[in-house]
Amino acid sequence: MRIWELIYGGVLDILFPQKCVFCGKLLDGEPDICGKCRGAMEKFPELPPNTKPDGKSRLQFLDSFIAVWYYKGKVRDGILGLKFRYRVDYALPLGRSVAMKVLREQGTGFDAVTWAPVSALRRLRRGYDQSQLLARTVGKELGIPVRRLLKKQRHTPAQSRLTTEGRRANVLGAYCFAGKQSVAGKRILLIDDVFTTGATAEECARVLLTAGAKSVSCAAVAAAPGHSDK
């Protein structure tokens, strides 16, 4: 089976050569994103345990937090493209990069991968949920089942113009547990696109812990410490 997959993949590479998702340049062995684009994407550092992206504040409900890049430049363009310009093809390279970082810094000891969902209204308008697409890629890359565990039960105003306190109030009670099976004793990996103050991810973690989860860790494509553009 494996050999046929390799041959098939090789034929596909010849017929449809792999191109950088961001600039369209032909790739030379590197995965998904060319060296030049990758070089322009500023890596987010590994944080001390239990710390928010600002490097100082403590996480409240989340066990750990990681992000691949800073939310700026090409990374910001990519995420905005995925969210608002139907660039669903960005979910694969961005999700794969998240999976690599999870593997390096958080390990694979998770029972399920889930995501912070958009509201039903937003999903209907957009046609997809970008964080679900990212979570699917991460789960597939790491071999961890992807489960829909959360539902956004009310539409919330955009977080962008709110203060940290305002953001927390804005999302409080916005999500409810929606898993088909119990999460009692399970270790959950929560995937998000951008982690700003962490209000959304922390609220999702609170709901999952209340539902019995043992721990919730968050992995995001990008972190924006001090940024307000979500």
Q: What does the binding site for Zn ion look like in residue numbers (CB under 5 A)?
A: 20, 22-23, 25, 34, 37
- Cβ nearer to Zn ion, comparing 36 with 154: 36
- Token reading at 32: 């998904």
Rounded least distance, CB 17 to Zn ion, Å = 14
Rounded least distance, CB 74 to Zn ion, Å = 8
Beta bridge partners of 194: 222
Rounded least distance, CB 113 to Zn ion, Å = 27
- Cβ nearer to Zn ion, comparing 25 with 43: 25
- Residue 186's contacts (CB-CB under 8 Å, 6 or more residues apart) are 111, 112, 212, 213, 214
Beta bridge partners of 70: 223
Q: What are phi and psi of 229, to 5 degrees?
A: -100, 85
- Cβ nearer to Zn ion, comparing 32 with 192: 32
Rounded least distance, CB 42 to Zn ion, Å = 15
**H or E segment and range at residue 190:** strand 187-195
- Cβ nearer to Zn ion, comparing 36 with 104: 36
- Cβ nearer to Zn ion, comparing 22 with 69: 22
Rounded least distance, CB 70 to Zn ion, Å = 18
Rounded least distance, CB 12 to Zn ion, Å = 20
- Cβ nearer to Zn ion, comparing 87 with 227: 87
Which of 48-78 are b and which e, b meaning 16 or more Cβ less than 10 Å from the residue's Cβ?
eeeebbeeeeebebbbbbbbbbbbeebbbeb
Length of the chain: 230
Distance CA 113, CA 192 (A): 11
Instruction: Please give the C-alpha separations between residue 157 and each of 88, 145, 160, 192, in angstroms, as whole numbers.
Output: 24, 31, 9, 18
